[in-house]
Amino acid sequence: MSIREGEICVSNFKTSKGHEPLDTIRRTVIALTAAGALLAVAGQAGAQSPQPVSSDPAVVTQEREKTMKSMGDAMKKISAYVKNEGGTIDGVREGAATIQQASHKIVPSLFPADTGIGKVKDSEAKPEIWKQWPQFQQAAQKLESTSAELVTVAATDDRAAIAKQFGQVGQSCGGCHDNFRQKKE
Ligand code: HEC
């Protein structure tokens, strides 16, 4: 649309003022090119918008549970270090990275609509997730930030600081589960 407008602009200049306003035409062309570039950027951003891991709800749920389990395993590794029960600082660093990476997948790809309790057999995802989406998003963001901080703290060898931040991450897991996960009996 903007390009059509541009063409009209250019031909208007030509008919009314002959060769004189070449500079204006050039500026118009530059402006149009910039607009085109902006559109292209907007298009790319659109292409990167949230995509579920699959269009099959059962596959999404499997992938979600796998990701959650990987975070659970990571928490165990970190806990073993924090409690001095045979864990290592490398385990902490690995675990923190796993959680941090997984946290970024929660909202964009692991919880598309219609993939919870009543829709997918054995899912523990409560319908409140989709009714209170902003709160759910916040709970995911909380884990993104607390786990990022854990990655930073884990770069040190400071067991007390790691223990403290590990507690923050644990609260971020629990904060979401309390509201949005219905544990199977
Ligand atoms: C933003 C919300 C949210 C956060 C944050 C979150 N979880 Fe979950 N988690 C869920 C939901 C919802 C389910 C149920 C998913 C289902 O069964 O469909 C779940 C399920 C699980 C499960 C069970 C998986 C299975 O096999 O059924 C484990 C283990 C788990 N989470 C661990 C964690 C750990 C550890 C953390 C923190 C490091 C965490 N979760 C953070 C929402 C969250």
Q: What is the pLDDT along the chain (185 residues), one digit of tens a residue?
A: 444 443 433 333 444 444 555 565 455 555 555 554 544 444 343 334 468 889 999 999 999 999 999 999 999 999 999 999 999 999 999 999 999 999 999 998 999 999 999 999 999 999 999 999 999 999 999 999 999 999 999 999 999 999 999 999 999 999 999 999 999 87
Determine the pLDDT at residue 7. Answer: 41
Task: Outline which parts of the chain fall under CATH 1.20.120.10.
Answer: 57-180
- Ligand 1 centroid distance, CA of 67 (Å): 8
- Check pocket membership of 150 for ligand 1, CB cut-off 6 A: no
Ligand 1 atom 1, closest CA: 140
In 53-142, DSSP assigns E strands to none
Determine the pLDDT at residue 80. Answer: 98
- Check pocket membership of 125 for ligand 1, CB cut-off 6 A: yes
Q: 164: which residues sit within 8 A by CB, 6+ positions away?
A: 153
Q: 31: which 2 tokens?
A: 């402006």
The C-alpha atoms of residue 125 and residue 140 are separated, in whole angstroms, by 14
Ligand 1 atom 30, closest CA: 68
Determine the pLDDT at residue 50. Answer: 65
- Ligand 1 centroid distance, CA of 43 (Å): 33
Mutate to test the pocket of ligand 1, among 68, 115, 168, 179 (most ligand atoms within 8 A of CB): 68
- Tell the CATH topology of 57-180: Four Helix Bundle (Hemerythrin (Met), subunit A) (1.20.120)
- Check pocket membership of 172 for ligand 1, CB cut-off 6 A: yes
**pTM, rounded to two decimals:** 0.78
- Check pocket membership of 169 for ligand 1, CB cut-off 6 A: yes
Determine the pLDDT at residue 102. Answer: 97
Q: Counting atoms of ligand 1 from 1, which one is nearest the CA of 117?
A: 18
Q: Nearest CA to 96 among 161, 166, 157, 174?
A: 166
Determine the pLDDT at residue 19. Answer: 54
- Ligand 1 centroid distance, CA of 74 (Å): 13
- Check pocket membership of 60 for ligand 1, CB cut-off 6 A: no
The C-alpha atoms of residue 177 and residue 183 are separated, in whole angstroms, by 9
Determine the pLDDT at residue 42. Answer: 43
Determine the pLDDT at residue 45. Answer: 39
